[in-house]
Chain A
Amino acid sequence: MTAPHTLLALYHTMVMARAIERRLWVVEHTEPVNGYLRVSGLEAVQVAAAAALRPGRDWIVPCPTDLALCLAVGLSPLDVMLAVFGRADDPASGGRQTPGAFGSRAARVVMTSAAAGRHVVQAAGIAYATKVSGRDEVTLVCTDERGVQSGDWHEGINFAGAHALPLICLIEDRSRREGPIAQHSNGSTVDRAEAYGLAGETIDGGDFDTALAAFGRASDRARSQGGGTVIHALAVELTSKAPGGGMRPPEELEALAGQDPIDRMRRRLLEAGVLEAADDEQIQRDCAGVVAAAVEEARTAPSPDGPRALDNVFSRVLEHG
């Protein structure tokens, strides 16, 4: 049973993630930045994952859409905007990586590359180190539905299955296909997970309670040496752009609105008496205000010095370089 204050905090994170995305729609058209962060539709499953993990102890290997997940484990809106503007104080990479590459060694959020799926096999390595060290840690690795097509996804999931590793692989699938992942000949993602020796389940990724229960089962399995789990979360991207290109027709947009995970979470909290309508309005205003302030602060923050591009290639300046 999740405590009311925790539910409210998670809801606040969901709203914040959406506020950041919406604000970036404007910023990327008014500023010389790349603010391409697309989290909408995934907020519920991401905060549910965070709620099931122990921040700073369990490992998170995110993909670029994991804004709500990373906010839930410590990333701040200002951190996001410093990355968007490529500023020196961007704590993840000092403005080197394109926005969406979150990472923090202290928080055990691994900085990943832009290559889909490569991080899945690395996550298996993280989980292997956990197992041989005898520590109580779970590794969560996230990918979108395209990452599942990469060879490294298969190599990583196979390795996790062969060693019964404490790994959870979340597939954030906004392709709106309930059958096989695109480009796969047949079989569901759950079938593939089970073939590799992991448990698997497909869930409604827009429903917080469903997602939290799935992560709870997966975490319990991992912590009891029961092996890994693939969670295939179905969700929708709440934009007017259709997944396959072009624009969504009005009737489809209307249908999507009913699947908004933030609306669903809001209704749940209102019905449970955890949230009052007036409080919700305040949360919306607060998040919009925090994001606007973060944009302004990041806009005027210093850029890195050009020659500092030479820093951190190796652990120290080489004597023979």
Chain B
Amino acid sequence: MAEMRMIEAVRAAISEEMERDERVLVMGEDVGRKGGVFGATDGLYAKFGEARVLDTPLAESGIVGVAIGAALNGLIPIAEIQFADFIHPAFDQIVSEAARTRYRSNGDWSVPIVIRAPFGGGVHGGLYHSQSVEAFYAHVPGLKVVVPSMPADAKGLLKSAIRDPDPVLFLEHKKVYRLVSEEVPDGEHLVPIGPAVVRREGTRLSCFAWGLMTHYCLQAAEQLAAGGISVEVVDLRCLAPLDRETILESVRKTGKAMIVHEDNLTGGFGAEVAAIISEHAFDSLDGPVVRVAGPDIPAMPFNNPQEEFFMPNPAKIAEAMKKLAAY
């Protein structure tokens, strides 16, 4: 076991999988000599060489398209999109190509790729370095969407993603990269893609989150505990496939549900979680299903007051929790 932050856990997962299987390679803008803008691939170029740690042109459709082709011909590519904000040119390659290849060929072909993308705000990244893109992709059958919030999960889920026979979008919150550290198991540490995890047990309401918002919800829950309100915090970790059972089990226990995400409210993934709860746990509800999310504006502004206005934070979440608990 070693103490790691998420960025180091991501790097360890990639490095170990590249050592384990020579078919695994990394490609993306600045992933090679530079080691990635966040350092996720730092040292891999020297360790594995330029053919397996491939610097690509700044062309996201090309990055994912090349990864798809390499996968069709037997490799296991990890394609890095430098910021999730820039993934949009690759939307077609991800949605119409990677996610549909198995389906359109009736199982003859598959695309075992991982697309890693740092996402999220709160870092003064402005409109184009703060976006949350999970809702676009969690909507797509044939694609798995994973969003770890803790270092050990990041390692275990990324290793599972690399070994997965289907395409996986792996979203890493850039503010979490160096936010927390924890003991991360050495070597073979696999976390299955799918199951959510209860980060904090509680009885009065259930709070569902992923990425940075998991941490903020835990902080808010800690505040409420001081006032005698017990909040359960569930880290979904994977949005596709989604662990409906853990969501419903928690709501049936507490009777109240809140979903927190920093993506804007309308059409955000919280709407899907709310719909599942309404459809399958209606009889257990003792209050409205509440969403705490970014406002419906095009993107997160750069300036401090408006970034703070956009981002859910522990104080906003705690306020919403109190209100729901009192309902």
Residues of chain A having any CB pair with chain B under 8 Å: 59, 92-94, 96-97, 101, 103-105, 110-111, 113, 115, 118, 121-133, 151-152, 155-156, 158-159, 162, 311-315, 318-321
User: Can you give 10 A-B contacts (C-beta < 8 A)?
Assistant: A115-B92, A122-B66, A129-B69, A129-B73, A131-B51, A156-B65, A313-B102, A314-B144, A315-B164, A320-B238
User: Any chain A CB within 8 A of the CB of B229?
Assistant: no
Shortest CB-to-CB span from A110 to chain B, Å, is 6
Whether the pair A113, B108 counts as a contact (CB closer than 8 A) is no
* A-chain residues with CB within 8 Å of residue B70 when the two chains form the complex: 125-126, 128-129
**Assembled-state Cα–Cα distance A123/B97 (Å):** 13
Whether the pair B93, A103 counts as a contact (CB closer than 8 A) is no
Whether the pair B241, A113 counts as a contact (CB closer than 8 A) is no
User: Any chain A CB within 8 A of the CB of B166?
Assistant: yes
**Assembled-state Cα–Cα distance A121/B59 (Å):** 11
> Which of B118-126, B128-136, B242-250, B309-317 is the contact stretch?
B242-250
Question: How many residue pairs between the two chains, A and B, have CB atoms under 8 Å in the bound complex?
Answer: 145
Whether the pair A111, B65 counts as a contact (CB closer than 8 A) is no
- Other-chain contact of B97, A92, A101, A118 (Cβ < 8 Å): A118
Contacts A132-B52, A159-B66; is A312 near B102 (CB within 8 Å)?
yes
- Other-chain contact of A129, B57, B74, B109, B194 (Cβ < 8 Å): B74
Q: Residue on A with the closest CB to B64?
A: A121
Shortest CB-to-CB span from B76 to chain A, Å, is 10
Contacts A113-B104, A151-B61, A155-B62; is A314 near B166 (CB within 8 Å)?
yes
Whether the pair B75, A132 counts as a contact (CB closer than 8 A) is yes
Whether the pair B105, A103 counts as a contact (CB closer than 8 A) is yes
Whether the pair B245, A320 counts as a contact (CB closer than 8 A) is yes
**Assembled-state Cα–Cα distance A104/B109 (Å):** 8
* A-chain residues with CB within 8 Å of residue B105 when the two chains form the complex: 92-93, 103, 105, 111, 312
> B183-214: which have CB < 8 Å to A?
194-195
Contacts A311-B106, A313-B103; is A126 near B69 (CB within 8 Å)?
yes
Residues of chain B having any CB pair with chain A under 8 Å: 25, 51-52, 56-57, 59, 61-62, 65-75, 77, 89, 92-93, 96-97, 100-110, 141-142, 144, 164-166, 194-195, 238, 241-245
**Assembled-state Cα–Cα distance A124/B27 (Å):** 14
Whether the pair B107, A312 counts as a contact (CB closer than 8 A) is yes
Shortest CB-to-CB span from A63 to chain B, Å, is 14
- Other-chain contact of A132, B25, B67, B103, B104 (Cβ < 8 Å): B25
Q: Residue on B with the closest CB to A118?
A: B97
**Assembled-state Cα–Cα distance A179/B187 (Å):** 59
Whether the pair B65, A96 counts as a contact (CB closer than 8 A) is no
* B-chain residues with CB within 8 Å of residue A124 when the two chains form the complex: 62, 65-66, 69
Whether the pair A319, B194 counts as a contact (CB closer than 8 A) is yes
Whether the pair A121, B93 counts as a contact (CB closer than 8 A) is yes
Shortest CB-to-CB span from B74 to chain A, Å, is 6
Closest 4 pairs between A and B when the two form their complex, measured CB to CB: A125-B69, A121-B65, A155-B62, A129-B73
Q: Residue on A with the closest CB to B79?
A: A125
* A-chain residues with CB within 8 Å of residue B238 when the two chains form the complex: 320
Whether the pair A158, B57 counts as a contact (CB closer than 8 A) is yes
Whether the pair A111, B104 counts as a contact (CB closer than 8 A) is yes
* B-chain residues with CB within 8 Å of residue A132 when the two chains form the complex: 25, 51-52, 75
* A-chain residues with CB within 8 Å of residue B75 when the two chains form the complex: 129, 132-133
* A-chain residues with CB within 8 Å of residue B62 when the two chains form the complex: 121, 124, 152, 155-156, 158-159
- Other-chain contact of B165, A105, A121, A159, A315 (Cβ < 8 Å): A315
* A-chain residues with CB within 8 Å of residue B71 when the two chains form the complex: 125
- Other-chain contact of A96, B72, B74, B104 (Cβ < 8 Å): B104
**Assembled-state Cα–Cα distance A314/B193 (Å):** 13
Given contacts A103-B105, A122-B72, 19 further A-B contacts (CB under 8 A): A101-B104, A103-B109, A105-B105, A105-B108, A113-B97, A121-B93, A125-B66, A126-B72, A126-B73, A129-B73, A130-B73, A132-B25, A151-B89, A152-B65, A312-B106, A315-B165, A318-B241, A320-B195, A320-B238
